[in-house]
Structure 1
Amino acid sequence: MNLVSHNGETYGANDLRYVSESGSLLDLTFSPDIDPEAFDDRPLGMWRYIDALPVDEQHRVSFDEGGTPLTEHRIGEGTYHLKQDHLFPSGSYKDRGASILISHAKALGVDSVVEDSSGNAGAAIAAYCARANIQCDIYLPDSTSPAKREQIAAYGATLHPIPGSREDTADAAISAAEGRFYASHVYNP
């Protein structure tokens, strides 16, 4: 596995970087050798597909997320099936990504992460960091609702309210992440 930028810069998957030297986004190259029939006897949920995920089972950080129900809704002339991801353990619909990201951080031996969020990603990252015993600093706009702040803090994360725009919050988190794992739900592949 490697991290590869859009202009060809290549780094090892264990590199803590979230962008290339030139500032390009990174993709994770991963070509799993999977047997789809192996999934049949496994419990429902995201980790049923562990063979297709770039995470070693031994580093898995999970609350058994996934497998949320689909509900059928008629809207106008159409019928729609809506995934009820608000039922995830953290109360955020971003648990799948947080589970994989924090599992990767655990595999790297990371003991502290920084994330910027206006709510849902912060709650999910904080929950999975708590599960993995990884210290978590969440940078959030000072306009973030009290309910979201409480949700994030309930998992033991340290909150850093930042005055200004959402971009100001991201910039503060990036500065704080120097030499640490930036658990960005925007940048991490």
Structure 2
Amino acid sequence: MDDSSTSFDRPFLYDRSGRRYAVTDRRWRGEDGTPLALSPMPGLTPDRIDTSERSLWRYQAAIPVPPRHRVSLGEGCTPMLPLDWNGLRVHFKLEWFNPTSSFKDRGVAVMISHLRGQGETRVLEDSSGNGGSSVAAYAAAAGIRAKIIVPAATSAAKILQARAYGARIELVEGTRDQVSDEAIRQSEQIPYASHNWHPFFLQGTKTIAYEMWESLGFRAPDNVVLVAGAGSNILGCDIAFSELLEARQIDRRPRLLVGQPEHWATIADAVNGIDPRSRGPRVPTIAEGASIATPVRLPETVQAIRRSGGAAVAVTEDQIRAAVRRLASRGLYAEPTSGVAAAALDHFLADGTIGPDQTTVVVLTGAGLKSAEKMATLFGSDIDPDEGSRA
């Protein structure tokens, strides 16, 4: 977020070169080829929250989409569950309570609302799963045709969900970044509703931070622990807490503490000054939603972490698997991508980054049901085939 771009009266888009564009401009990136950001919105005060609305649209005053264009399936207002974790009270934000069972619904709801307001009748998205499912759902709700390009190795459950909403699915062999390259090529013909590129997606993800603030009695937590792939939750939190600081509703930024799978830790390595090549060849991770080698907003995510006084860590596959099992033992059936955040929590507790008297929120991004095949590798061998007949 560029604080020098403050303009509350007339919001605008801008690229890394500083060139400005109207919010009505039908573009998803700048003329310089870099991602676009929206100029800062005025931060909310408690009296501007629409408490009659039980969705993220209760923060309509901070969302730059006119109510008449709104597309909603009831996203947001997810539970924030306090649990004892290593003897400390930690809050877990359960994002699978969103309509398609992942946090992506926040950003997609706002992005699709904006695109509908622009009169779009079809959209293109590329996704490893959750983003595609979400775009398919909200496009269906908006009466917009959707095409989703996904890696061939994507979870069958996620592909099935997107197909169920009526989206056209195209499978592409190769890495997540190769899938993105193909989507960018096709974006010459189809409007690109990319959850990684489109600036209005971040205007939806920022509502998770507003919910933390409201749930904690209009106070900021000390720490927010996040898993990062492209970093949209990092940037969403940075935007919202910056807006709240500007509105004098909080007096400090929460530290953003980030975890990534060790072979896909581009953001963490950039924060820590590590050459990613030192990790050797990239190998598949059970946390498929975080396997992004080249986040398009890498400089911005690194700046957001550092601005918050936060930190980032790479976690191993064994640590991710152990974290998923531990979450499940507490009744939280989180997909392995979410397990990265729990593994990062363990790391930051162990090294003293998170102290015993601090308020910490851990964001669990999606449900285990979205990654049935990956969850089966963790729990399938533990199932007694005769257990159901004895119940």
TM-score category, normalised to shorter length? over 0.9
Residue number among 98, 106, 111 corresponding to 2:108 in the alignment: 98
* Structure 1 residues 77 and 180: CA distance shift in structure 2, 3 A: same
Letter in 2 for 1:126: A
* Partner deviation per Cα, 1:118-168 (whole Å, 9 max, x = no partner): 011111111100000110000000111211110111111100100111111
**Residue of structure 2 in register with 1:38 after alignment:** 48
Tell me if the contact between 1:91 and 1:123 (Cα under 8 Å) persists in the aligned partners: no
Structure 1 residue 76 corresponds to structure 2 residue 86: yes
**Residue of structure 2 in register with 1:67 after alignment:** 77
**Residue of structure 2 in register with 1:85 after alignment:** 95
Q: Choose 107-116 or 21-30, whichever is displaced more.
A: 21-30
**Residue of structure 2 in register with 1:20 after alignment:** 30
Q: CA deviation at 1:66?
A: 1.0
Q: Residues 1-189 of structure 1 correspond to what in structure 2 (within 5 A)?
A: 1-32=11-42, 36-39=46-49, 41-189=51-199
Tell me if the contact between 1:114 and 1:183 (Cα under 8 Å) persists in the aligned partners: yes
Q: Choose 109-118 or 89-98, whichever is displaced more.
A: 89-98
CA radius of gyration, larger in: 2
Counterparts of 2:43 and 2:163, CA distance in 1: 40
Counterparts of 1:15 and 1:75, CA distance in 2: 47
Letter in 2 for 1:107: G
Q: CA deviation at 1:31?
A: 3.5
How large is the RMSD of aligned CA atoms in angstroms? 1.6
The structure whose residues are more often strand, as a share, is 1
Tell me if the contact between 1:61 and 1:99 (Cα under 8 Å) persists in the aligned partners: yes
Tell me if the contact between 1:92 and 1:123 (Cα under 8 Å) persists in the aligned partners: no
Counterparts of 1:98 and 1:27, CA distance in 2: 16
The size of the alignment, in residue pairs, is 189
Q: CA deviation at 1:33?
A: 8.5
Q: Per the alignment, in what secondary structure is the counterpart of residue 30 of structure 2?
A: coil
Tell me if the contact between 1:16 and 1:180 (Cα under 8 Å) persists in the aligned partners: no
- Compute the TM-score of the two structures, normalised by the length of structure 1: 0.93
Q: Which runs of 5+ in 1 are unaligned?
A: none
Counterparts of 2:22 and 2:173, CA distance in 1: 36
Counterparts of 2:156 and 2:43, CA distance in 1: 45
Q: Choose 9-18 or 98-107, whichever is displaced more.
A: 9-18
Counterparts of 2:155 and 2:43, CA distance in 1: 44
Q: Choose 41-50 or 138-147, whichever is displaced more.
A: 41-50
Q: Choose 25-34 or 102-111, whichever is displaced more.
A: 25-34
Q: Aligned residues: percent identity?
A: 39
Counterparts of 1:31 and 1:79, CA distance in 2: 33
Counterparts of 1:40 and 1:88, CA distance in 2: 19
Q: CA deviation at 1:34?
A: 6.1
Counterparts of 2:46 and 2:171, CA distance in 1: 45
Letter in 2 for 1:68: T
Q: Which runs of 5+ in 2 are unaligned?
A: 1-10, 200-391
Letter in 2 for 1:46: L
